[in-house]
Structure 1
Amino acid sequence: MVLSIFMFIVFFGVFIFLLAAFLGSRKQGDGGQEEMKDYLIKKTYYYLISFVTLMMIIGGSVATFMAIADYVVPPSYHYDYYYYEEQMYEKEHGSENQLTPEEREERLEKAREQQKQNAKEMAVNSLIKSLGWIVIPLPIFIYFQRQIRRKETE
């Protein structure tokens, strides 16, 4: 979803850029009016790129916060398919293969710890990916903000 929105915005930005190049290449009578069109198209392009990168940074920040929360407080453990499969096997094959309550509790505790460890590893992985959504667009955002400020002071 985010990728498709990003691709649409990039396509729209490229369209604006090509439109600016097309209008810039046309030479009409009034040079001042033509320069004003170029200025407005470039300004629109700069603001569009700044908006897109800012949205990416905000989305990355939210995802980073969520990944940190998942690491600090991993999701709770729920019985999974393998636990139920083991119970069904015991019911079908009788009590000769049945586990004692202590062994069953020990296996359940190991499964809980493994689930917590897996959740923490997934949170770290998600955190690294989320930081990419901040680190990559940040220089682009800073560059275009400087371009906007420079154009406004001219």
Structure 2
Amino acid sequence: MAIFSLLILFLPVILIVFVIAYAVKNKEMGDEAVIRHLYTYLVLFATLMMVIGGGISIFMAAADLVSPQGYYQSYQDYKQNSENGKMGENNENKTEAEIREDYNQLVKDEKSRERERAKNQIIKSLGFIVIPLPVFFYFNNMRKKQSDI
């Protein structure tokens, strides 16, 4: 995680260095052409980062879908809370098997909620791929046409 944070921190600096180097290299093209090229490369960079971020998010949501990780209180805590009446219902007359069944249902419901959240996250993350990808292809074709001229 620290490497990713450093990458995010230094990425704009690296991008600015490349932009300045490109502008100095292509000074003979004229200011308007240089700005047009820089704009094209910045859009390509931004859309590519969005697509990569969406792909990472989809992968993480798929991992949550396969193996949902949620908070489950221990059976002992659940049993103690249900016996003390903290669960909001009268559980004093329940047998050990009924309490165990209720606890297992609680865990099952929580895993189901986590899976639903993961499905929702996958759908949301697809937006970070489906929306910027056509923009990336359009500007990449524009870049190729600009370099052919």
Q: TM-score, normalised by structure 1?
A: 0.68
**Quick one: distance in 1 between partners of 2:50 and 2:84?**
48
Unpaired segments ≥5 residues, structure 2:
1-7, 13-27
- 1:71 pairs, out of 62, 65, 74, with 65
Look up the match of 1:15.
none
Look up the match of 1:58.
52
- 2:103 pairs, out of 84, 105, 108, with 108
- 1:49 pairs, out of 36, 43, 50, with 43
Percent identity between the two aligned chains: 36
Look up the match of 1:88.
84
Conserved in 2, the CA contact under 8 Å of 1:64 and 1:126? yes
Conserved in 2, the CA contact under 8 Å of 1:67 and 1:126? yes
**Quick one: distance in 2 between partners of 1:58 and 1:65?**
11
**RMSD of aligned Cα (Å):** 2.6
- 1:121 pairs, out of 102, 116, 125, with 116
Q: TM-score, normalised by structure 2?
A: 0.71
Look up the match of 1:152.
147
After the TM superposition, list the runs of 4 or more consecutive aligned residues in structure 1 that deviate by more than 6 angstroms: none
**Quick one: distance in 2 between partners of 1:135 and 1:40?**
29
Tell me the matched-pair count. 118
1:88 Cα offset (Å): 2.8
Unpaired segments ≥5 residues, structure 1:
10-32
Counterparts of 1:9-20 in structure 2 under 5 Å? none
1:89 Cα offset (Å): 1.5
Letter in 2 for 1:112: V
**Quick one: distance in 1 between partners of 2:93 and 2:83?**
9
